[in-house]
């Protein structure tokens, strides 16, 4: 009996027959382990034709199993397996501050048109799946390891609703069952020999064997309008009449401006508005309360939402933005949970007849951190707080991001944290918090880090915002992600500066004090098409591909999508990140300690420079300088001040430096005469130089 699911997967693949004549290709970046299969043909467009069973089995045998150590269980979180607990003075899960995070959406990241039909099929010519699966995602792990990634962050992998789905496939954010995995992630290669849960277990084992942690994305605030909790908990939801659903709209408040904050003062105006009264009048009592006897029949229906419409004329009310007068229409695929069983304490007096007003969605009820009721929905809170533990126990995950955690009741957040850290005392949480000013409170809440606004500022190089971000990040009270893009934003490679600037910032992001490098899926191959138009995007961002590209106008979050892994320059970023991996490792302590850091300033706002000082008695090899020219068009000369270097070296005349890495030239050693304690360095357009003294 194999003890690991990875071994079971290998055995299952090895037992498969008849796949040696299947025409199956993978992008060559999926082969970072020098695969030596009997079928192993490089096609002219950077793909490799392989026998899929042999390829994935060889991958497991070559990359993962040799790292197996019988004393350590890769099925547990890394900290638990190693028996690590947080160091004194640090928070549980603070390992995340030293990590390099790769964000992946398995369905898209591991998608490939293996039969090259031009269509990304669920079942291709040979009965194989072309959208992503956990099994196929294994092939990306060696590439991630090459790039120094040590934390795999996954967009939601739970079962989601297909009702009124967006795009070809629907959004994984419309979760319909928190416990079950998205059945589309099951690989048909293993057939019935393995379950989807086992394949995810195998994936986690593989990550852990490579010393990579795994984080998932959980969404306790919203849920799909069609979901598995309705049956037993109709009272956890907001209801409107099905026959009036087409009139459901974001209420318009003339007395407040666009995107108004739900302050108490504003909420008074909201409740006074005529359109809000119209809106409130739409809400209904939940069906079970309306007719408990009928409910016993209706709840057994397979298509429960349809049955509720037929028998009660009720439908779950869609969610909408918590800003007052947000121009976005309602999000028809998702809804909010009722966090409290009564109306908000602070605003219920604004209601004309609170006792006879059914539960309703409004800017206050959905912002339950600011507007709590008196009766917490304990049963719901327990359910939500059990999601992470369930994934910890079944799969041994290492951390989680809490989607919209800041809109949840603080007690619920604490329940979630406490339950998770009771199981794994080193479990990490990331706050979906974009505002740097909220860093301190997030940290106080127990989050290890916040997302921050790097992806908004870093792309704005020419407005000086990137400069601002890079120099200010160290002052934040929590670590932030350093990234120019996320799954919600446009791609760096599609912005001004294009591939050049994408590469420049990807490297610079690895050395930002207080920053956690975050690589968005396919950023490493200069993917141009965003995955979603959620943040900082316009309609034009939908069309970043040539119009004869099979994925033109498609978004990975909703549609069948494969990344452009065969890009001609696909190895540039992986090779670059591989080269600087040992440098980052050597200076990790200094990167985490702001006292060892000195910024290098210049008039030029397109220049960013950092210096890190090691506390050693050696006279050389103790200062690292990162010098980045964010101008993708023009070269520049820099004259960093290096008195500490000169003083340490006790040589007043010259200084010797080592160019450890450059995006533009090979490493070399150089000696310079010093003038006014400054050296003279040339940086090409978009160049990053990493120099050690």
Question: Cβ of residue 550: shortest distance to a second copy, in angstroms?
Answer: 5
CA distance 346 to 688: 54
CA distance 510 to 507: 5
Between 129 and 584, CB nearer to a second copy: 129
* Cα–Cα separations (whole angstroms), residue 350 to 228, 265, 267, 276: 34, 11, 9, 11
Question: Cβ of residue 44: shortest distance to a second copy, in angstroms?
Answer: 4
Between 25 and 448, CB nearer to a second copy: 25
* Cα–Cα separations (whole angstroms), residue 495 to 473, 540, 599: 22, 12, 27
CA distance 360 to 281: 9
Between 552 and 670, CB nearer to a second copy: 552
Between 547 and 671, CB nearer to a second copy: 547
Between 127 and 257, CB nearer to a second copy: 127
Q: Where are the beta strands (DSSP E) in 112-242?
A: 151-154, 158-160, 175-181, 213-218, 222-224, 239-241
DSSP state of 251: P
Question: Cβ of residue 267: shortest distance to a second copy, in angstroms?
Answer: 53
Neighbours of 252 (CB within 10 A): 14
CA distance 23 to 48: 10
CA distance 666 to 244: 68
Question: Cβ of residue 32: shortest distance to a second copy, in angstroms?
Answer: 20
Could you please report the per-residue DSSP string of 320-359? --SSBT-SSPPBTTEEE--SBSS--TTTGGGSSSGGGPPP
Question: Cβ of residue 116: shortest distance to a second copy, in angstroms?
Answer: 6
The residues near 604 (Cβ < 8 Å, ≥ 6 apart) are 631, 636, 638
Question: Cβ of residue 543: shortest distance to a second copy, in angstroms?
Answer: 17
Determine the straight-line distance between the first and last CA of the chain, rounded to whole angstroms: 55
Question: Cβ of residue 127: shortest distance to a second copy, in angstroms?
Answer: 8
Question: Cβ of residue 49: shortest distance to a second copy, in angstroms?
Answer: 6
Q: Can you read off the two tokens belonging to residue 178? A: 């928190």
**Contact residues: a second copy, CB under 8 A:** 21-23, 25, 39, 41-44, 49, 115-119, 125-127, 548-550
In this structure, what are the phi and psi dihedrals at residue 248, rounded to the nearest 5 degrees? -70, 125
Question: Cβ of residue 114: shortest distance to a second copy, in angstroms?
Answer: 9
Between 39 and 579, CB nearer to a second copy: 39
Between 125 and 440, CB nearer to a second copy: 125
Question: Cβ of residue 191: shortest distance to a second copy, in angstroms?
Answer: 17
Q: Which residues pair with 673 in a beta bridge?
A: 654
What is the spatial order of strands in the sheet that 40-42 belongs to? 25-27, 47-50, 40-42
* Cα–Cα separations (whole angstroms), residue 182 to 134, 179, 427, 523, 531: 11, 10, 24, 25, 19
- Quick one: which H or E segment has residue 516? strand 515-520
Helix axes 410-423, 378-385, angle to 10 degrees: 40
Residues across the chain = 693
Question: Cβ of residue 368: shortest distance to a second copy, in angstroms?
Answer: 48
Between 496 and 549, CB nearer to a second copy: 549
Question: Cβ of residue 125: shortest distance to a second copy, in angstroms?
Answer: 6
* Cα–Cα separations (whole angstroms), residue 410 to 19, 342, 426: 53, 17, 21
């Amino acid at each position: 009996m194999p003890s690991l699911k990875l071994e079971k997967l290998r055995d299952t693949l090895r037992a498969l027959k008849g796949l040696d004549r299947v025409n199956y290709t993978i992008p060559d970046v999926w082969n970072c382990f020098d695969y030596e299969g009997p079928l192993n043909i490089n096609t002219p467009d950077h793909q490799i034709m392989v026998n899929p069973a042999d390829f994935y089995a060889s991958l497991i045998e070559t990359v993962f199993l040799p790292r197996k150590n019988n004393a350590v269980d890769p099925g547990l979180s890394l900290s638990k397996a190693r028996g690590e607990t947080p160091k004194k003075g640090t928070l549980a899960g603070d390992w995340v501050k030293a990590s390099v995070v790769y964000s992946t959406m398995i369905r898209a990241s591991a998608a490939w048109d293996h039969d090259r039909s031009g269509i990304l099929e669920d079942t291709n010519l040979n009965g194989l799946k072309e959208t992503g699966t956990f099994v196929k995602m294994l092939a990306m792990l060696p590439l991630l390891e090459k790039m120094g990634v040590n934390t795999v962050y996954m967009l939601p992998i739970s079962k989601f609703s297909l009702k009124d789905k967006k795009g070809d496939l629907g959004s994984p954010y419309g979760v319909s069952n928190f416990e079950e995995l998205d059945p589309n992630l099951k690989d048909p290669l293993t057939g019935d020999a393995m379950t989807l849960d086992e394949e995810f277990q195998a994936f986690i084992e593989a990550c852990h064997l490579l010393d990579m942690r795994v984080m998932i994305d959980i969404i306790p605030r919203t849920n799909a309008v069609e979901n598995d909790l309705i049956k037993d908990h109709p009272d956890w939801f907001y209801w409107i009449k099905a026959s009036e659903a087409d009139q459901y709209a974001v209420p318009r408040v003339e007395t407040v401006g666009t995107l108004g904050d739900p302050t108490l003062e504003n909420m008074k105006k909201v409740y006074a508005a005529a359109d809000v009264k119209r809106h409130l009048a739409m809400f209904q009592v939940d069906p079970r309360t309306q007719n408990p006897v009928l409910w016993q029949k209706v709840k057994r229906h397979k298509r429960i939402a349809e049955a509720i419409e037929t028998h009660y004329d009720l439908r779950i009310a869609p969610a909408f933005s918590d800003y007052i007068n947000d121009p976005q229409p309602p999000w028809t695929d998702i809804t909010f949970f009722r966090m409290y069983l009564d109306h908000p304490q602070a605003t219920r007096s604004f209601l004309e007849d609170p006792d006879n007003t059914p539960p309703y969605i409004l800017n206050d009820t959905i912002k339950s951190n600011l507007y709590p009721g008196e009766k917490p929905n304990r049963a719901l809170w327990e359910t939500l707080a059990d999601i992470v533990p369930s994934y910890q126990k079944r799969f041994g995950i290492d951390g989680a991001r809490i989607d919209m955690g800041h809109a949840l009741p603080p007690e619920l957040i604490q329940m979630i944290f406490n339950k998770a850290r009771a199981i794994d005392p080193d479990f990490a949480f990331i706050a979906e918090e974009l505002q740097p000013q909220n860093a301190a409170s997030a940290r106080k809440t127990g989050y290890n880090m916040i997302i921050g606004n790097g992806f908004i500022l870093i792309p704005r190089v020419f407005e000086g915002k990137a400069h601002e971000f890079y120099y200010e990040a160290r002052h934040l009270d929590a670590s932030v992600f350093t990234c120019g893009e996320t799954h919600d934003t446009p791609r760096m490679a599609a912005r001004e500066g294009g591939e050049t600037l994408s590469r420049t910032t990807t490297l610079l992001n690895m050395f930002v004090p207080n920053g956690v490098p975050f690589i968005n899926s396919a950023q490493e191959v200069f993917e141009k098409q965003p995955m979603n138009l959620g943040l900082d995007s316009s309609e034009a961002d939908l069309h970043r591909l040539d119009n004869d590209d099979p994925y033109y106008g498609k978004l990975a979050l909703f549609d069948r999508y494969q990344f452009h892994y065969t890009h001609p320059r696909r190895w540039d970023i992986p090779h670059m990140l591989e080269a600087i991996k040992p440098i980052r490792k050597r200076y990790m302590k200094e990167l985490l300690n702001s006292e060892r850091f000195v910024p290098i300033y210049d008039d030029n706002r397109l220049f960013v420079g950092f210096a890190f000082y090691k506390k050693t008695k050696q006279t050389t090899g103790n200062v690292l300088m990162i010098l980045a020219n964010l101008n993708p068009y023009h070269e520049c000369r820099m004259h960093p001040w290096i008195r500490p270097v000169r003083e340490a070296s006790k040589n007043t005349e010259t200084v010797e430096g080592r160019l450890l890495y450059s995006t533009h030239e090979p490493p070399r050693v150089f000696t310079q005469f010093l003038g006014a304690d400054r050296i003279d360095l040339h940086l090409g357009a978009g160049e990053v130089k990493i120099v050690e003294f």
